Amino acid sequence: MSISEEFQANIEALPNILQRKYALLRDLDKSLQEIQRQNEQRCEQEIDDMKRGIKSGNITPNSSLLKFSDDALDEQKHAIRIADEKVALAVQAYDLVDAHIQQLDQYLKKFDEDLRRERDTMAASGTSPTLDNNVKAGRSGETSNRGRKKTRLATATAAASASATAAAAAATAANSTSMELDLPVDPNEPTYCFCNQVSYGEMVACDNPDCKIEWFHYGCVGLKEQPKGKWYCSDCVGTQRRRKTR
């Protein structure tokens, strides 16, 4: 089983798991809102009763004696328990997605190591390594880092297609809860492209081996599909033109 197939097999259950968690979050949110509404009505009624009792002289205006009923306090405690359950579910959902992201990072690292090992073996035997059909062949004499870079698109594309269903289901379920989970971005995640953002979606590699950025998001460079032949970013195209005019 290939790396992308192994990751796809592991991620197939993710959408259903997230959908169940978000559905439970939605149910808890409805219950919490109902309890809060009932408690507000009860507390307002009790406050009105206290005011009338003080005016009529039946209740002494002593703040130490004025308090809500046990039923009102129990409702507030119940609301706090439901809120804690919502937080726990949100943390579980985040940890689950984060675990798959870390797993994908490990698969990409293993893929790079296997490819480098294969390339070194082929170089020692004097034969050319066999490249996957969706990976562009690099130029002769490219560095090992450049060779790894050319295979990143094929790996990322395979992983993206495997996680597309998960992302769509998670986004739909998240919207239905009327809640936003503020998920932090890993500060160690490398950034790419003119936008200086992390890797996401489909990306294209600049064929200039000296390109400082190397990888670009399709949308940032106006691409909708994999370019045919060699492709250069606008910075490298400008550099090549200036060299020719000299």
Residue 78 annotated as lining a ligand binding site: no
* DSSP code string of 171-219: HHHHHHTT----PPPPTTS-EETTTTEE--S-EEE-S-TT-SS-EEEGG
- The string over 104-140, giving b where at least 16 C-beta atoms fall within 10 Å of a residue's C-beta and e elsewhere, is beebbeebbeebeeebeeeeeeeeeeebeeebbebee
Residue with tokens 């004025």: 66
Q: What is the largest CA-CA distance in the chain?
A: 103
Q: How far apart are CA 220 and CA 127, in angstroms?
A: 38
Length of the chain: 246
Q: Helix, strand, or coil here: 148?
A: helix
Q: How far apart are CA 104 and CA 163, in angstroms?
A: 10
Residue 43 annotated as lining a ligand binding site: no
Q: Phi and psi for 43 in degrees, rounded to 5?
A: -65, -40
By the 8 A CB rule, do 232 and 208 touch? yes
Q: 97 CB contacts (<8 Å, ≥6 apart)?
A: 14, 18, 170, 183
Residue list, annotated binding site: 193, 195, 206, 211, 217, 220, 233, 236
Binding region for Zn(2+)? 193, 195, 206, 211, 217, 220, 233, 236
